[in-house]
Chains A and B, each alone.
Chain A
Amino acid sequence: MLRRQPQHVLSGLVYAAALALSGAFASGASAQQPTPVAPPPRVVAPAPVVAPSPVDTGDAGDPWESTNRAIFGFNQQVDRAVLVPVANAYRTVLPSPVRDMIHDFLQNLNSPIIFANDVLQVQPGLAAETAGRAMINTTIGFGGLFDVAAKMGIPFHTNDLGITLATYGVDSGPYLMLPVLGPSNPRDLFGDVADSFGDPGNIVASDYHKLYASFARGLTSGIDERSRNIESLAEIERTSLDYYATIRSLARQRRAAQIRHQKEDVPNAAPLQGASALPAPVPAKNVAELPANGPAISYRMMSPQPAINSLADLQKSSMAPAAAPQR
């Protein structure tokens, strides 16, 4: 029993790593950032101003930004040197139907964890869908190789302990860029590790001393996910001004949408309206010294709007930058 423990821990970590990797958006194709234009000198204010810190990261909800950016840079190197070539080879070697089978099979393997979290969130509808999908796909779908359930109208949904904790009101904590694995936060990292310990597949693999099975599964999940995002991530990187900031925003919004378990008939909170529900933003010190030019903005977005429930999540994640900086 004692002998088995470290293995189990390791398999858990490996799987957590793979899970986070498959969390996609990880890293992009090339580290090329456009040469930034030199920041203009700050406007000289009549009154003495306390010089703002050179990197004002206080209001992006990313207190570890400089470390995160460094890790992100490293991830881009790994991505370019290893992940993208491997993902490309994967697509070249295996025909699309085979890759779909692998994808469906891996997705089906995740059913127990998804089901457990559906239950922990007291979502009987989702739990029934997950259980039904697992039963249909494992039998009629030849052990999960075919997603028959989706064709029958039971779509896949994801779930994990990070989402469960979020629905329990646990805050995500700061944005966290993990080496190789990509965007996360302390809550979701904890959730991924815990999920991997609870995963029946990993437990069985560990009990039979077949750690490589968990490892292979995690690795394949990562390759599968990366191979599906080669073009889209490359396009985002090519077209964005600040790739890191774009990925941060996308990762947070995507996570917020997962936490909302969005249903077809529930609109996303309109940010244009949601903005008015936020406390009045306090401009940064150096900005505040500028004379106010033009008339104060008055347009329909500023009128108070009824906020819908999901707004809270959106605000917590992606609206954070609009909040007053604590400096």
Chain B
Amino acid sequence: MSAHQFAIEAEDLGKIYKRWDGPWSRALEVMSRGRRQGHREVRALEGVSFKLPAGGALGIVGANGAGKSTLLKLLSGTTAPTSGRFRVSGRSASLLELGAGFHPGFSARDNAFQNAVLLGLRAREARRRVEEALEFAELMDVADEPVGTFSTGMGMRLGFAAAMSVEPEVLILDEVFAVGDQAFQKKCVDRLAAFRAGGGSLVLCSHALYDIRQMCDEALWLDNGQLAKAGDACEVTHAYAASQIAEDDVRRVAGALPQRADWPRITGAEVVLSHSGLPARSVQTGEDIELRVTWENPNPVDHPIQLGVGFVRGDQTLCAAAATHHDGVKLSGAGGVCSLRLPRLSLLAGTFLVKLWLFDDAGVFRYQETALDHDLLVRGAEREVGLVRLDHSWHLEGTALQPNPWAFSQPKELTL
């Protein structure tokens, strides 16, 4: 393994892509020796510095377009930085895409060999490693079949095995570290764990924050090409996750307007308790509630609308939804209040984001997508677990049991 203290050192790395409007503007710039600027600059990465200790694992998180892939491309050497510098100590291999360069007409063995030689193995060594890779990918009996006849999963298994066969000291992975079915994914993860146990350094970019936390010691959070936060993997991923939720808040009813002035819009929304008519931020499972949505439609003739409501849990699961076009209701006129009545709320305890959509008549185009200003807190009274309460009863050998005293029909008798 490398004698260096750091596997990767990056100092003030930056990358600016040049975009030309067309070949002519580019030719003009070359002809005029740069006096006529024909290109726009796209700043993909700016001032990124970090050090990855040898044997460490670094996760990279960030939204799409934040510069994650650009950073990986720089580190893997497929493109050069436009500012700053970096150093990779030890032999590195990058896996930016599985099976890049596989030829569908050639056998798995041929393709794996080609891949190993491309990644820098000598032919003799490559031939030996290819057999190991085929073994690992469980493709020994189809090794001489053309890759074009493989299923997607088989192709990915081959791609992963072929890339891992190079046995690098620094491994750079873009979203691809576990492929195939569950059993094979486990194999991939074990392989990576063995790689790290053997002193290998890892750079991993993923949207799956859980994986970053599991596999990496440190993490970088890239935002708009800049380093938003760096440090302990757990801290960084939690900060990143929190920012994603905070970003969600911005688009809520209070501040959200549709894109055009003559488009329909939601001007207010609240949850009220049916029995008192009072607004509420927290309700109880089994209660009768109403969701009152105030809407305006400046041009109801050209923009007939439909309203959709969804209850979204913290992990982005849409737990339940209702929409006027599903139920044959129309929102006609220039405005009004539309109430969605939910008798005996069957959502169980949890915090729900109440999403609101204004659709076109067909329920396809979204004029507006927003959410209730405050999350809906549902307090559970039952000891039941799950997401929703199914209407249910138990029967033993054909004998109906006594009704459950905690049943939904008497929610008001409950005390907390």
Do the two chains belong together in a single complex?
no
Which residues of A are at the interface with B, using a C-beta cutoff of 8 A? none
